[in-house]
Amino acid sequence: MERTLAQAAAQLGLSRPKLIALMREKGLLNDRNLPAYPHRDREYLRVRDGQWYHDQLGMQYSQSTRVKQAGIGWLAQQLAIDLPAIPANNRDVA
């Protein structure tokens, strides 16, 4: 499962701007909020390419960073963040 930076920030207990600031400070994101080292960090982060058609401007293209499932723990480690506790799943209790 992949998450947007906003979703990843919520899971880490941060706001999106705070997560981006911390990732830039550590050199994980470039000035366009894309992975600074996409090949090195490919197990944790990826670039999502998007496109849409605009009536007046034609095809529009965008790129955004996605955080992979393994990237949540990796980001917490890289940014020295304590992950919030995972709530216990009591549904399996007999």
What average pLDDT score do residues 8-15 get? 94
Q: What's the pLDDT at 88?
A: 61
Q: 65, 78, 2, 4: which is closest to 31 by C-alpha?
A: 65
Query: For residue 12, what are the CA distances in angstroms to 21, 28, 49, 52?
Result: 14, 16, 24, 31
Which pair of tokens denotes residue 32? 């366009």
DSSP state of 14: S
Look at residue 83 and tell me whether its pLDDT is greater than 90: no
pTM value?
A: 0.81
Instruction: Give which of 44, 43, 48 is closest to 33, Cα–Cα.
Output: 48
Q: Which of 15-24, 41-50, 84-93 has the lowest mean pLDDT?
A: 84-93
